[in-house]
Amino acid sequence: MTNVVLLGSTGSIGTQTLDILRTLPEYRLVGLAGGLQHGLIAQQVAEFAPTHVVQGDAANGKRPSADQLVELATLPEADIIVIATNGHDAIHATIAALQAGKVVALANKEAIVCAGDLIMPLAELGKNLRPIDSEHSAVWQSLQSGHTTDLNRIILTASGGPFRTWNREQLADVTPAQALKHPNWEMGAKITVDSATLMNKGLEVIEAAWLFDTPVTQIDVVIHPEQYIHSMVEFADHSTIAQLSPPSMLLPIQYALTWPHHVASSFQPMDFTATFSMNFEPPRYEDFACLELARSAATQGGTYPTVLSAADEIAVDAFRHEHIGFLDIPVVIQATMDTHISQPVTDLDVVIAADIWARQTAAEIVTRYQRP
């Protein structure tokens, strides 16, 4: 029996992880952390009967603390810790779980983006760290067909979001409601807006650099609207290996739990007898500036990725509340990064300090662009 702890049970990844656990009789949920949806958490507890449960304080709007997440992530009986929470509190849990000898199935972007310097020395891909992001799972699966020493480049695919064909004038008038409609995926509000700005793909570039120990210069992004190919790897002989499946997070979640096996599932397969098309095009970096901002942060290193991530959260929140426009999101992030003096990431205190500074600075910058 494999014992699983799930941090972030009520979000999109969390609920889909539970969907997978329903189909895996050899896996048992022993710990669960949820947010403020107490009704849903109660249903999950009634069905899966975990022995350890943590939930937020709905009356005060407080989510589980970092200490509570760490306690769950280091349960002696736990084998796999699924990190499906948003935000920086998950960094503590990720590091603690790895130090405690647990396998971490990671869906939280902030952990690797902001604390890759601290996490990756503790991690070995597959053995104790397994990516849940569909793109990184695809790269991980594709790399197993060759040797990493022969890798030429990683190619991350992106749908392009709902505004892929919009011109700059149209982008200036994008509303939050429009940005929250992704053409292929059902996700949380923040990540859906990030997908529309291509910041999500930029963060994935930073993650891929850490996970696969690959320079950012060897990681490309290509727009693939149909999203059948989730990512590709090109080897030195220019052979390219791709992972294909209909858009769904269920497959990468299951693979993170069951690696190195591809266990039987009821997932929708690709139908290669049906007529379908796959299209590819380069990103429009000028109109979707967040992608290049992420590359810049990754290249500069230190606390720049933390500042990028924190400033993005502030800018996206301001956009969702109609305080700034869609095209103002990268402007706020750029202005925040321009005033930052980077520090080496030697411990979590450095990350936390950079995060606090970036949020305060970005919030001040938002007021300059705030709409009447």
Pairing of strands 219-223, 229-235: unpaired
Q: Are residues 144 and 221 in the same domain?
A: yes
Q: Does residue 98 sit in the same domain as residue 179?
A: no
Is 185's pLDDT higher than 60?
A: no
CB neighbour list of residue 269: distance below 8 Å, 6 or more residues apart: 245, 246
Q: Which residue has the higher pLDDT, 227 or 57?
A: 227
Q: How many structural domains is the chain composed of? A: 2
Q: Are residues 207 and 285 in the same domain?
A: yes
pLDDT one-digit tens code per residue, 305-318: 999 999 999 999 99
H-assigned helices in the chain: 12-21, 38-48, 66-73, 89-99, 109-119, 134-143, 168-171, 176-179, 189-197, 199-211, 250-258, 290-300, 304-320, 328-338, 348-369
44 belongs to a structural domain = yes
The model's pLDDT over 348-366, given as tens digits with 9 standing for 90+, comes to: 999 999 999 999 999 999 9
Its domain, for residue 66, covers 2-107
CATH number at residue 265: 1.10.1740.10
Query: Is the same domain home to 200 and 255?
Result: yes
Q: What is the pTM of this model?
A: 0.94
241 shares a domain with 157: yes
92 plus 164 within the same structural domain: no
For residue 189, is pLDDT > 90? no
pLDDT digits (tens, 9 = 90+) for 284-308: 999 999 999 999 999 999 999 999 9
Contacts 24+ apart (CB under 8 A), 219-222: 219/153, 219/154, 219/155, 219/156, 220/153, 220/154, 220/155, 220/156, 221/155, 221/156, 221/157, 221/158, 221/283, 221/291, 222/155, 222/156, 222/157, 222/158, 222/280, 222/281, 222/282, 222/283
Of the residues 92, 107, 122, the one at which a domain ends = 107
Tell me how far apart the 2 most distant CA atoms of the chain are, in Å: 59
Residue 3 confidence (pLDDT): 99
> Is residue 10 a part of any domain in this protein?
yes
Q: Is 254 found in the same domain as 147?
A: yes
Mean pLDDT of 319-345: 97
Q: Is 298 in the same domain as 365?
A: yes
CATH number for position 70? 3.40.50.720
| Region at 322 (left for phi over 0; alpha for psi -120 to 50; beta for the rest) | left
Residues 74 and 141 in one domain: no
